Amino acid sequence: MIIVSLIGLKKTGKTTCVEALVREFKSRGMKVGTVKSMVSSKFTIDTEGKDTWRHQEAGADFVVSLSMDEIAYIEKRPSRSRLDEFIRFIPEDTDILICEGLEDTDHRIIRILVAKSTEFLAETFEVRGAQENVIALTGIVANEITDNEDYPVFNCTVSEETRALADLILENSV
């Protein structure tokens, strides 16, 4: 399985790029999964007072919620989950896993830096800690520059560039 993480600050174009890459890899017949890491969010899928919340309040270590067409696994964690902790939930036949905002140092992860502008590049590296395995630069910054001395730049709102970024990901997965 190929694992890619798009790393960047808020409002930089991460979700737009994830959507474009999902469409591109699906068009190639690949089984694609995504992971959304919410670094500073207090988001919970659970709702206070609802049955699943009550199950956890009673002491359940985890809760699986089933609806007519969805399955949700809920497990409270003392800290943010790392790749090796959630990879068990990913179906084995997944070809590519695209992660949005996953800041993990696992060597299997191909990283793409997503930035708003060139002035935020250094801050993005500093805040998100993305140093190793970065293969490309994308995001809103791609409207400002088309080339960077360290990384190729791709505009995920342009089909040809998304295709080229997908090719680069596949090349780096070997």
Whole-Å CA distances, 71 to 23, 29, 61, 96: 23, 24, 17, 20
Return the CATH number at 162. Answer: 3.40.50.300
Domain shared by 70 and 86, yes or no? no
Q: What is the pLDDT of residue 9?
A: 87
Domain shared by 99 and 13, yes or no? yes
What's the pLDDT band for 40 if we cut at 50, 70, 90? low
* The last residue of a domain, from among 28, 56, 78: 78
Domain shared by 56 and 138, yes or no? no
Q: Which residues is 35 bridged to in the sheet?
A: 99
* Per-residue pLDDT tens over the stretch 2-36: 999 999 888 999 999 999 999 999 999 999 999 99
What is the number of structural domains in the chain? 2
Domain shared by 105 and 148, yes or no? yes
Lowest-confidence range among 56-60, 103-107, 138-142? Answer: 103-107
User: What is the C-alpha separation between 109 and 100, in angstroms, rounded?
Assistant: 12
Domain shared by 117 and 54, yes or no? no
Contact predicate 6/100, CB 8 Å: yes
Domain shared by 120 and 67, yes or no? no
Domain shared by 96 and 157, yes or no? yes
Q: What is the pLDDT of residue 129?
A: 63
* 57, two tokens: 């309040």
Q: Which residues is 4 bridged to in the sheet?
A: 98, 110
Residue-range definition of the domain harbouring residue 152: 2-39+80-171
Domain shared by 57 and 116, yes or no? no
Domain shared by 155 and 94, yes or no? yes
Mean pLDDT within 102-131: 80
- Per-residue pLDDT at 156 exceeds 80: yes
Contact predicate 7/18, CB 8 Å: no
Domain shared by 127 and 70, yes or no? no
Closest alpha carbon to 37 in 13, 61, 14, 70? 14
Domain shared by 73 and 87, yes or no? no
How deeply is 36 buried, as exposed, middle or buried, from its count of CB atoms within 10 A (0-12, 13-18, 19+)?
A: middle
What's the pLDDT band for 131 if we cut at 50, 70, 90? low
* The last residue of a domain, from among 57, 78, 99: 78
Domain shared by 93 and 151, yes or no? yes
Q: What is the pLDDT of residue 47?
A: 85
What's the pLDDT band for 146 if we cut at 50, 70, 90? confident
